[in-house]
Amino acid sequence: MKNKHHYVAIMAGGIGSRFWPMSRTSYPKQFLDILNSGRTLIQSTYDRFKKFIPEENIYIVTSEEYVPIVQEQLPDIKQANIVAEPSRKNTAPCVAYISYKLKELNEKGSLICAPSDHLILDETGFRKVCLEALSFVAQHKALITLGIKPSHPNTGYGYIQFEQQPASDNVYKVKTFTEKPNLELAKTFLSSGEFLWNAGIFVWQVGSIVTAFEKHLPEIAELFEAEKSSFNTPSEKESIEKIYPQCSNISIDFGIMEKAENVYIIPSSFGWSDLGTWNSAHDNMEKDYLGNAVAGNEVMVIDATRCMIHAPNNKLVLLQGMDDYIVVDTDDVLMICKKEKEQEIKQYVAEVKRNKGDKYL
């Protein structure tokens, strides 16, 4: 039986520039089938949550320009559950918007805020952890973040240090947040056993997060508080268009989670990846006996190893003699890039913009 006080906000406003040239500003990563699974990332995320959250309590928070794509990819979702942001202001205003909106609907609501573009392989394990977190926040005025037990010293993730004595079954108080560390520091974190990867999935009661905004981001709280009576009414859009230009561009991690006293973490292992890069896509796709991950019906690989290849289904792509490359072919862009250089794709996109304008972005 699903709990009517449980809500989820799937955050789907990003532009996924590290997955260029497949991910474009007009049609970003969350709306693509990056892993060649038959479902786009946002569809998979929605499918995962609807197994234990009432469907009428699932909200998508996205940019105004992506509303038609959300409607097309998630035809079952009600128009009222697609929450449109007029501009990109990072995650704090996004969380404030959905939290103030839901508080007006149901003061007892508990909310999961989750990205739309992550991979979770163990859905049963994920559901168990989410329900544990929802149960904890319903009883305590706590802000919970889900932490992933690290498998290697990854320098692309944030790390969270937690106290070793549990506050409750499998729930621990958070000590520190560290942004992406260098390799030496990541190795130290791993060997200490006190650190988890920050999955960017948060759970809290709507009242608790609103209180946290009032304390730690009062200027954002005041903007939403002043307009709250218009939420869930026809004048909501007008209010939001007034609020957003005045909001600071700040993440929920930096604005609240790193400052609040009542932050807790649940150590988790549910086959998580933030699918942040082409390498992480390669890691999570089926590979041939030479380690090539291929998406595309007509791709031929000859003497190539450990490559990540993504091509349109109607196009013959023949790859010979390459080792450890990312090859992404779209209708108007072909990118061939060494896998070790994938962190620089954002810079290459900036270079394209400088030389070619916005046409290929």
Q: What is the pLDDT of residue 193?
A: 85
pLDDT in tens, 281-326: 999 999 999 999 999 999 999 999 999 999 999 999 999 999 999 9
- pLDDT over 90 (residue 28): yes
pLDDT in tens, 50-76: 999 999 999 999 999 999 999 999 999
Reported as a pLDDT band with limits 50, 70 and 90, residue 41 is very high
Q: Which of 46-60, 78-92, 173-187, 213-227 has the lowest mean pLDDT?
A: 173-187
Q: What is the pLDDT of residue 191?
A: 83
* Mean predicted lDDT score pLDDT of the chain: 93
CA distance linking residue 57 with residue 106, whole number of Å:
11
Average pLDDT over residues 202-212: 96
- pLDDT over 90 (residue 137): yes
Average pLDDT over residues 182-202: 89
Average pLDDT over residues 216-244: 95
Q: What is the pLDDT of residue 353?
A: 94
Q: What is the pLDDT of residue 190?
A: 84
Q: What is the pLDDT of residue 244?
A: 95
Strand 6-11 versus strand 317-320 pairing type: unpaired
Say which CATH class 6-273 falls into.
alpha beta
Average pLDDT over residues 220-239: 95
- Helix and strand totals (H; E) in the chain: 11, 17
- Show me where the domains of the chain are located: 6-273, 278-356
The alpha carbon dihedral of 217, 218, 220, 224 has a sign of positive
Q: Residue 134: which of 238, 40, 204, 220 has the closest Cα? A: 204
Q: How far is CA 314 from CA 35, 43, 109, 118, 292, in A?
A: 17, 23, 47, 27, 20
The CB density around residue 184, as the number of other CB atoms within 10 Å, is: 10
